[in-house]
Amino acid sequence: MSVELLSSPDRPQNRLLSALILGAIAFALTLFCLELIVFSGRISPLWFATSLMTVVVFRTPSRHAPLLLLACAAGTALANGLILGPNPANLLFTLINLLQGIVGGVLLRALLKRHAPLNSLLDWLRFMLSVGLLTPLLGGLLALWVLNISGSGRFSFLSTWVISEVIGMLALGPVLLLMPWPLRTSALSLRRLAEFLFTLLLTLGATWLALRFMPWPFTCIVVILFWCAVRLPKRDAFLLFLLNACAVSLMLALGLVTVETRNNAPGQIANWVPFLLVLIPSHVMALVMDAFRREKHHISESETRFRHAMEYSAIGMALVSPEGVWLQVNNSLCQTLGFPAAELRKLTFQQITHPDDLENDLQHADKLLRGDVDAYTIEKRYFRKSGDIVWARLTVSLVRDAARHPLYFIAQIIDISALKQSEQTNRRLMERITLANDALFQEKERMAITLDSIGEAVISTDSEMRVTFMNPVAEKMSGRREQEAAGQPLSALLQISHGRHGTPVENLLLRRLPVEKTTPDLDDELVLHAADGTVVEIHYSITPLRTLEGEEIGAVMVIQDVSESRKMMKRLSYSALHDTLTRLPNRASFERQLQRLLSDAVERQHQHVLAFIDLDKFKAVNDTAGHAAGDALLRELAELMQHALRGSDFLARLGGDEFALLMPECPLAQGREVVQRIVAAVNGYAFSWQGAVFQVGASAGLTQISADNNIGAEVLSQADIACYNAKKAGRGRLAVYAPPAR
């Protein structure tokens, strides 16, 4: 439950209530002081009214102060009137008190902080000098002047006034300055109240005993109040000092105790000075203790904060001795290292550091101890309790004492194992990528070298059949540099025709991406016309390029220079159909030609003539002049016979000294004439060899090929028979096959 005496001083009803309460307090305090005078028959050593007004001015907002001061003055005047009687001079005292209170309050406002008015000895000194000395003196002088007191009573009046005001201010002032306002009962603790009351009772009892029985009673009271200052909080201690001062005054006034006094004026002052000597050291002690308690609290709070920071920190923290012993470790570090705190504190960091990282750590720690660096951060490995390795980022700083001697290291340890692992993974990945790139690069290099060194032209294109790459052979064949050709359509780069002077190839393949590998027919005999006019016999293939997903990305065209192979083919083909000695068509060639004529005879009803020609006495040349001579003779006679032929006639050497002649679309009579010319020419030919002259002859047999006589074996046989007949008839002549009579 909480009771607020004044919750909002700004509300008019609360201000009025405050005024009433203050008026009542002023009345009670003044009444108390005056009663002391009445009881003791002497001037009271306490005067509280002024200190109440002073603190009201200090603590109250200026706009509220007049009402509250008026209430205080009214309370004071009422008490004065009640005890001293209705004398205008008493009102004058109240006014002087009021004036003194206003000046004191304004001075305090200038010197002290409102929310913490007595926080240090300096504050207390300011308080003492301003309202504990200056304003009482001013008030006393004013009272002297106003009341026009003169003579020997001046000093006594002034000193009594000042002493009463000073003791009143010392006793009540700090209590009023420190009292929470508005008062809240919730702030009161029963335990604290009980402790206060217990201390108060002990103090009052001890004070009575001291005053009653001790030789230097006020010295004993100081000791008692010191004990209170040590025991109680500042505010409670000041309240106790006030109550103790009131109690002492009361005991003296009531004559419960007697203190030895002298009856002259300075003696009276001297009797009151012990009050001052009691209160001043007690105040100082209370303030020192308060400062000590606050410092202790501050240290305790700092320690708590540090402990919490350690305890709840998400990163590992530790205090480590200069020798390396873990002095204090937090939960996070225990989790990181896998050790319970108690076990870890028995170890040194050296014992759980990976040997490869220890030297580095120790070197940094040495630098820190020497003062070369203020802190260091390294990455290192620790052994967990399980023996596993944990990677950590360690930041270390050093705490030193006032003499700069090292006290302990502060270590922050962050587990970076996951980071390290991903770093390693990334590094391995990068190594693999680098290796793959190297392999790819080498592969590309190899490919480039291969493409540069192979004999074929290689041209690659994009999916639109535009040139993207050409090897040196392709550059040479096309007569264009790769840089010029890049991006051009393949069909514009390559001019290909059928044969050197044939028609240009309208090859759609050069314009459109083929579906699959495509090559033109070998018989096309394609040639490539280079930009510089060079012509190359070529054969090519175009292969489409696709990604693994089947996307068409271009094509590769490979062009072979087939000039040499075509020549070779032609040579082979010639050799297959010609007699190497005489260069006349050979038997195979003859048979092919014969077959054509036989078909022609059937299909077109043409007539052709076939003749067999066999040399006479040729063997004799061989035998006489040698085989080389025979060869030479055969060459010469072949040439001789060819001169006697018609343009369309076909003379072949069948082997040895046998020849065959095919005369297309030739009547038998005309064939006979041609063969007769040949026979005559051979018969008349004189062959010279190494000074000797040889004479051979020729025998020939003819037959007609026609639609009626068109069987190969038969016509051959007929010519053979006719030739045989010519030989038989004496050689050097011809015979025409005559079919046997039926």
Ligand X SMILES: Nc1nc2c(ncn2[C@@H]2O[C@H](COP(=O)(O)OP(=O)(O)OP(=O)(O)O)[C@@H](O)[C@H]2O)c(=O)[nH]1
Residue 520 beta carbon to ligand X: minimum distance, rounded to whole angstroms: 42
Instruction: Name the DSSP letter for residue 2.
Output: -
Residue 620 beta carbon to ligand X: minimum distance, rounded to whole angstroms: 6
Stretch of residues binding ligand X (CB under 6 A), selected from 157-165, 208-216, 369-377, 613-621: 613-621
Helix (H) or strand (E) holding 539: strand 535-546
Residue 730 beta carbon to ligand X: minimum distance, rounded to whole angstroms: 11
Token digits for 75?
Answer: 């309370």
* Cα dihedral value 688, 692, 693, 694, nearest 10: -100
530 or 681: whose CB is closer to ligand X? 681
Determine the residue with CB nearest ligand X. Answer: 630
Q: Is 630 in the site for ligand X (CB under 6 A)?
A: yes
Q: Is 614 in the site for ligand X (CB under 6 A)?
A: yes
Cβ contact 495:529 at 8 Å: yes
Q: How far is CA 402 from CA 272, 371, 406, 409, 434, in A?
A: 47, 14, 10, 16, 56
488 or 622: whose CB is closer to ligand X? 622
**484-509: string of b/e by CB count within 10 Å (b at 16+)?**
ebeeeebbebbbbbeeeeeeebebeb
Stretch of residues binding ligand X (CB under 6 A), selected from 141-149, 332-340, 587-595, 619-627: 619-627
Site string for ligand X, 573-602 (x = CB under 6 A): --------x---------------------
Q: Is 212 in the site for ligand X (CB under 6 A)?
A: no
Residue 619 beta carbon to ligand X: minimum distance, rounded to whole angstroms: 3
The site that binds ligand X (CB under 6 A) totals a number of residues, namely: 15
Residue 645 beta carbon to ligand X: minimum distance, rounded to whole angstroms: 21
CA–CA separation, 2 vs 185, rounded Å? Answer: 5
Stretch of residues binding ligand X (CB under 6 A), selected from 71-79, 271-279, 618-626, 659-667: 618-626
Strand partners, 688: 693
CA–CA separation, 461 vs 103, rounded Å? Answer: 105
294 or 619: whose CB is closer to ligand X? 619
Residue 633 beta carbon to ligand X: minimum distance, rounded to whole angstroms: 7
Contacts of 497 (CB under 8 A, 6+ apart): 503, 504, 505, 526, 527, 529
Q: How many CA atoms lie within 13 A of 42 on its CB side?
A: 23
631 or 714: whose CB is closer to ligand X? 631
Q: Is 638 in the site for ligand X (CB under 6 A)?
A: no
Among 241, 618, 650, 659, binds ligand X (CB under 6 A): 618
Site string for ligand X, 540-579 (x = CB under 6 A): ----------------------------------------
43 or 634: whose CB is closer to ligand X? 634
Q: Is 615 in the site for ligand X (CB under 6 A)?
A: yes
618 or 737: whose CB is closer to ligand X? 618
Among 395, 622, 676, 710, binds ligand X (CB under 6 A): 622
Residue 622 beta carbon to ligand X: minimum distance, rounded to whole angstroms: 5
Residue 644 beta carbon to ligand X: minimum distance, rounded to whole angstroms: 20
Residue 683 beta carbon to ligand X: minimum distance, rounded to whole angstroms: 13
Q: How far is CA 64 from CA 8, 68, 77, 111, 613, in A?
A: 12, 7, 20, 21, 161
465 or 637: whose CB is closer to ligand X? 637
Q: Is 456 in the site for ligand X (CB under 6 A)?
A: no
138 or 581: whose CB is closer to ligand X? 581
Stretch of residues binding ligand X (CB under 6 A), selected from 24-32, 67-75, 259-267, 608-616: 608-616
Helix runs in 214-262, H state only: 217-231, 234-254
CA–CA separation, 193 vs 197, rounded Å? Answer: 6
606 or 731: whose CB is closer to ligand X? 731
CA–CA separation, 447 vs 450, rounded Å? Answer: 5
Q: Is 656 in the site for ligand X (CB under 6 A)?
A: yes
Residue 655 beta carbon to ligand X: minimum distance, rounded to whole angstroms: 7
Is 584 in a helix, a strand, or coil? coil
Among 11, 298, 367, 619, binds ligand X (CB under 6 A): 619
Among 657, 660, 671, 679, binds ligand X (CB under 6 A): 657
47 or 618: whose CB is closer to ligand X? 618
Stretch of residues binding ligand X (CB under 6 A), selected from 237-245, 355-363, 627-635, 680-688: 627-635
Stretch of residues binding ligand X (CB under 6 A), selected from 22-30, 435-443, 614-622, 703-711: 614-622
Among 123, 616, 660, 733, binds ligand X (CB under 6 A): 616
Token digits for 400?
Answer: 């030193």
Cβ contact 489:462 at 8 Å: no
Cβ contact 659:639 at 8 Å: no
- Smallest Cα–Cα separation from 638: which of 619, 658, 624, 665? 658
Q: Is 657 an annotated catalytic residue?
A: yes
Stretch of residues binding ligand X (CB under 6 A), selected from 74-82, 222-230, 556-564, 612-620: 612-620
Instruction: Name the DSSP letter for residue 505.
Output: P
DSSP string, 587-650: HHHHHHHHHHHHHHHHHH---EEEEEEEEESHHHHHHHH-HHHHHHHHHHHHHHHHHTS-TT-E
Q: How many CA atoms lie within 13 A of 201 on its CB side?
A: 5
Token digits for 169?
Answer: 């201010």
Asked, as a colleague might, if the bond just before 86 is cis with ω within 30 of 0, I would say no
Q: Is 676 in the site for ligand X (CB under 6 A)?
A: no
Identity (one letter) of the amino acid at 709?
A: N
- Give the gyration radius of the chain's Cα atoms: 70
Among 212, 308, 367, 617, binds ligand X (CB under 6 A): 617
Q: Which of 438, 657, 708, 720 is catalytic?
A: 657
290 or 614: whose CB is closer to ligand X? 614
Neighbours of 430 (CB within 10 A): 11
216 phi, psi to nearest 5 deg: -115, 80
Q: Is 631 in the site for ligand X (CB under 6 A)?
A: yes
Strand partners, 494: none
User: Residue 730: left (phi > 0), alpha (psi -120 to 50), or beta?
Assistant: left
Stretch of residues binding ligand X (CB under 6 A), selected from 58-66, 414-422, 617-625, 683-691: 617-625
Residue 716 beta carbon to ligand X: minimum distance, rounded to whole angstroms: 18
Q: Is 649 in the site for ligand X (CB under 6 A)?
A: no
113 or 627: whose CB is closer to ligand X? 627
Could you give the residue numbers annotated as active site? 657
The site for ligand X (CB under 6 A) is made up of 581, 614-620, 622, 627, 630-631, 634, 656-657
